[in-house]
Structures are given as structure tokens and as C-alpha cells.
Chain A
Amino acid sequence: MPRRAGAPEVNAGSMADIAFLLLIFFLVTTTIETDAGLDRMLPPIEPPETDVIIKEKNIFQVNINKNGQLLADGELIELDQLRGKAVAFLENNGDGSCTYCSGGKKDASSSDNPTKAIISLKNDRETKYATYITVQNELVGAYNELRNRESERLFNRPFTNMEAEYTKQETPAEVKEELKEKITRIQEMFPQKLSEAETSSSSSS
């Protein structure tokens, strides 16, 4: 009996079907992740032991009413004006102690310097969440705009870019160490003091 040369070929015609089955299984049981968002710190519940007196002019009060209208520092404004207003407030540099506030107007009735400036956000119970997020986004955007500018000047790369690399898991430890130093430096220049709780002008955390 003559032997056939080599093993017989396995029919791979159904391979595609099997792969399709697997593909459909994964399509059904998984979701594309939405894992990005606005990071915020809530204020601790216990009030600070010493009441800090904050000058009225160092607080940028933002109010959102239930119709989504915006009141910033006593002025009715549109949402797209908010970022500019917040930036102008943060780097106003009223007492002239901020050497890097290149765009500061030194308005006596606005904030003294970026480290003292506080943005306070109040909303109505009936405010839409979408509006609230937009306002939050604009305020974070204002901080990021200033931080990016200073970061570009000092380290030649945007702050948000450095932060993203810092939070990435794949970044090696020594790079993280270096980034952390730079990030802290920028954060100290423009500390994010964004108060979300009920704040009155005489006592705040």
C-alpha cells in the first residue's frame, strides 16, 4: 500500500465562524471605557479650627441659577465669557507680589495675587448637571490656561501634558520623580483654590 506524502490538510473553513463567534461574544459583554473626567477634591466636613478671614476681593463668586444663568462677581455673564473672567481674576496681581503674572491688570478691587485668589462656586438645587459641568470645565480651564503658560515659559512643555504623563502607569519612576517636582512648582504658582461648598465671605476653608 503506497503511503501518502505528508499529513492530510485540516480544513480551516470554519475558522472564520469560530472567530466571529468569539468577536460577537466580546462585543456583547464588554463596553468601551469612559474613564476620564474632571478631578475635584471636596472640602473636609470638619470646619477648620481657625477661622480664616478672606477679603471680599479675593473671592470670585460664581452663581448658577436653576435656569442655567451665570452670575460672576455680581455680573450676569454668558458661559463663554467665564474663562476669560476667571483668568483675569486669578492673575490680577493687586499687591504686585506676583512676578510671573504677565497679564495682570493690578486692579485694586480684584484679587491680590494668585496664591490668595479663591473661586467659589454655588449652585441651585435645580441646576442641570450638564451646566454645572460646563462651568467646572471652564474654571479648571482657566487654571490650566495659566499653568500651561507658565509651564511653557519655564520647562517648554504644557502643564497638562506633564500631568498626563505623570499619571500614566507606564512612566518610569525616575521620570515621575522629575515631573513631580515641576508639577508641584507650577501648582504652587497657581494653586487651585476652587471652593464648592457653601462659603460666605467672612469664613472659608
Chain B
Amino acid sequence: MSKFAKKKSGDLPAVSTASLPDIVFMLLFFFMTVTVMKDSSLKVENVLPNANEIKKLEKKDRVITIYVGAPTREYAKVYGTEPKIQLNDKFANASDVGDYILMERAKKPQELQNVLTTSLKVDKNANMGLISDIKQELRKVNALKVNYTTYEGDAFNNVD
């Protein structure tokens, strides 16, 4: 019976970690494909409301984004807690929106200038007054296609 006893060696064999890089690379590729690079850091609270009748915004190069929300905690001391507009990297007033849109539009290639969409990323706690002002400004510069960007979810979760 020494045939079986012979196999028994003192310690446990080490777990092979040879496939660990493969697993991590798989994770890496997953994140590389589903995420996009941040283009501007958010200075406002931006919890979007939910909606379920939504359409996907294809073609990222045709979208101009406007953020609205209360300044985050580090900016609240300077800018207050009332919802503000963020264009690119700085806070702005509603009257600056028109110029911003024209500027962004001029940066785009000629053939895209008429098909641009303005994506409004508005915090769910913002008031409609500010949004109405933005909409008015957008109408002035003839940027009529807007997209109220939302999360996908039940719209009734917005009101409680």
C-alpha cells in the first residue's frame, strides 16, 4: 500500500495565478468599451430624472451639452446653493447660453452645423424657471433640437 502513501507531500500546492492577467485584461476591455473619457469635470450636482419613453442619442459629435444643477459642495461657498448653469468648465448665466451654442456650433464641421442637438443634463431638483430661460436662449440662436437627457427608469420615481 505504499503506492498511495508515496503521493502525500507535506504542504498544499500553490494556486496558479497564471490566468489572473487574462481576467484583469477582460475587465479592462469591458470598461474601455462601455465608458467614455470625461470631457469636462462636473461642478454641479447632476442627478438626472428618470424616464422610460426615451430615445438614444447616437453620434456624439453632434451633441452640445449643457449642465444645470446646484453647485457641488466645494463651490457652494462661492456660488451659493441655487441651481446654476455649467458650460464647458465654468459657471454661466442664462444669457451666456446663446453665445456658447454659437461658439460650439462654429467649431463643428459645416455639414453638421444644421443637425446639432442640445443635450440638457439637468438635475432633478432644478426649477423650471432656469430651464425656460435656457430654452428661450436656445430659440434665439435657432438651436431647436433639444434632448432632455435622463436615466432610464420609471418616470413616477421622480415624484414622491
Contacts and interface: CB of A to CB of B under 8 A. Distances in A.
Which residue of B21, B140, B149 has the most chain A CB atoms within 10 A of its CB atom?
B21
A39 B32 CA distance: 28
B128 A42 contact: no
B144 to A, nearest CB: 4
A127 B127 contact: yes
Contacts of A132: 128, 131
Interface in A19-41: 19-20, 22-23, 26-27, 29-41
A130 interface: yes
A130 B83 CA distance: 14
Interface of A: 12-13, 15-16, 18-20, 22-23, 26-27, 29-45, 68, 79-80, 123-134, 136-138, 140-141, 144, 160, 163-164, 167-169, 196
- Nearest 3 pairs of A and B residues by beta carbon: A125-B129, A30-B35, A130-B124
Interface of B: 17-18, 20-21, 24-25, 27-28, 31-32, 34-38, 48-60, 63, 117, 119-129, 131-132, 135, 138-140, 142, 144-152, 155-156, 158-159
Given A19-B21, A41-B146, A124-B128, 17 more contacts: A20-B24, A26-B28, A29-B38, A31-B35, A32-B35, A37-B55, A37-B148, A40-B145, A42-B144, A43-B139, A44-B142, A80-B156, A126-B128, A129-B123, A133-B51, A134-B158, A137-B155
